[in-house]
Every structure is written in structure tokens, then in C-alpha cells.
Amino acid sequence: MASLSKSSQYVQPWHFDCRLSKELPDDNPVRGRFLASLFSATIAAIALFYAGITLYANAILRHEIAYWEEQARINRPQMDELQKVITSIQSGARRLEEIHRLTATPLPVSEFIHEIGRTRPANVRIDMIEYHDGIVYIRGALQETSQRTTALLSQYVTELKSNPRLRPLFGSIVQTSMERNTQATVHTFEINLKLKPSAP
């Protein structure tokens, strides 16, 4: 067989080329559809994953809420009893504070009652003396006409205000009520004496 020279214009391949390149379809559309399907499947998988996490978290939250509601129901009697104890302690603390304020005043209780009785008009009856939240309540009655009752109570309040033992202790002394019992012709009254704020 004759050898091929370097100047030959045509060189046969060493094997036959059986490809039909012109007859094969273009694979770009196929590749595009595959990538689009893969992207959609990934998005769907991520969405399902987060949906599952959300449902799981909600289930746990509902379980926790139900558990603590049940615990609150079980412990409600103990909590109610504790609240009663706390209320009682707070009430006792307020009473102790009031007693401390009353006993810490320069005027002992016995002398205060003596001054109240000494300055009252002869026909005025003192039924009760009560102390609460820094205010002394004096409640009593007298059997007089309405005009006479008004005059006597006004005189009594004036004497209490001008009393040298009471004036330094109380910021205000006022008559707060006067009612007439038509059946017994008796007038009931109330006088309030408000303590001055204690010095810090």
C-alpha cells in the first residue's frame, strides 16, 4: 500500500464514523425541564420540612399548655389557701402599723379617751371610738331637736379642734354625718379625726 505523504489533502480516519449528529434531537429542552423539576421538588421538600416542624412545635405547645392548665387546676385549692394567708398577713401588717402609729403618738390612748369624754357636751353619748387607716372615728348619739343637735355637735367639734392636746396630733377634725331617728327622736353622728403624717 502506498504511504501517504504529508502534502495529502485528505486523510481517512482510522475507523468509520457512525454518528448521526444531524439527526439527533437537541438535548437543551430536556436538560431545562429536568432542572426545573429538580428545583420544584427541592422547594416542595423544604416547604414540607418546615410545615412538619411547625406542626410538631404546635403539638408540643398544645401539650405543654394542657399540662400546665391541669397543674393549675390541681393546685388551685393550695393557691387559694396561700392567697388567704397572704391577705391575712397583709391585713395583720397594716393593723400592726396602725397600732404602732397610734401608740407612738405623744398622747397615750387613755389620755385621748379622757380628752374626748371631758370635752363632750353633757347630753352627748359616745357609743364607739374606732381607729383605722390613720383616722379616729367617733360615733355617738344625742336626744335633742335637730336645731339643738346641730348646735351642740358644732360646738363639740370646735372644742376638739382647739384642744391643746389634740390639735398637734390631728390634721383635721370634722363632723361627717348626722342622722335623725324619727321613731326615737334620736340623732346619731360621726366625727372623724385624721392623724397628721408621721415624720420620717
Average pLDDT over residues 22-31: 57
pLDDT tens sequence across 52-87: 888 888 888 888 888 888 888 888 887 787 787 777
The verdict on pTM exceeding 0.85 is: no
- C-alpha–C-alpha distance, residues 119 and 153, integer Å: 11
pLDDT of residue 70: 85
Residues 92 and 120 grouped into a single domain = no
pLDDT at residue 12 is higher than 70: no
pLDDT tens sequence across 106-136: 567 777 888 888 888 888 888 888 888 788 8
Domain that holds residue 54: 30-104
Task: Give a yes or no: residue 132 inside a domain.
Answer: yes
* Domain termination site, one of 53, 76, 104: 104
pLDDT at residue 190 is higher than 50: yes
- C-alpha–C-alpha distance, residues 177 and 164, integer Å: 25
Quick one: 136 exposed, middle or buried, by C-beta within 10 A (0-12, 13-18, 19+)?
buried
Task: Give a yes or no: residue 175 inside a domain.
Answer: yes
Number of domains in the chain: 2
Residues 121 and 100 grouped into a single domain = no
Task: Give a yes or no: residue 15 inside a domain.
Answer: no
Residues 138 and 182 grouped into a single domain = yes
- Residue 25's Cβ-side half-sphere holds a number of Cα atoms within 13 Å equal to 5
Residues 98 and 121 grouped into a single domain = no
Q: CATH number, domain at 145? A: 3.30.980.50
- C-alpha–C-alpha distance, residues 130 and 107, integer Å: 16
Residues 80 and 116 grouped into a single domain = no
User: Do the beta carbons of residue 149 and residue 178 sit within 8 Å?
Assistant: yes
Task: Give a yes or no: residue 25 inside a domain.
Answer: no
Of the candidates 195, 192, 151, 188, the one whose C-alpha atom is nearest the C-alpha of residue 171 is 195
* Domain termination site, one of 104, 122, 138: 104
Q: Which alpha helices (DSSP H) does the chain contain, by range?
A: 28-103, 109-119, 146-162
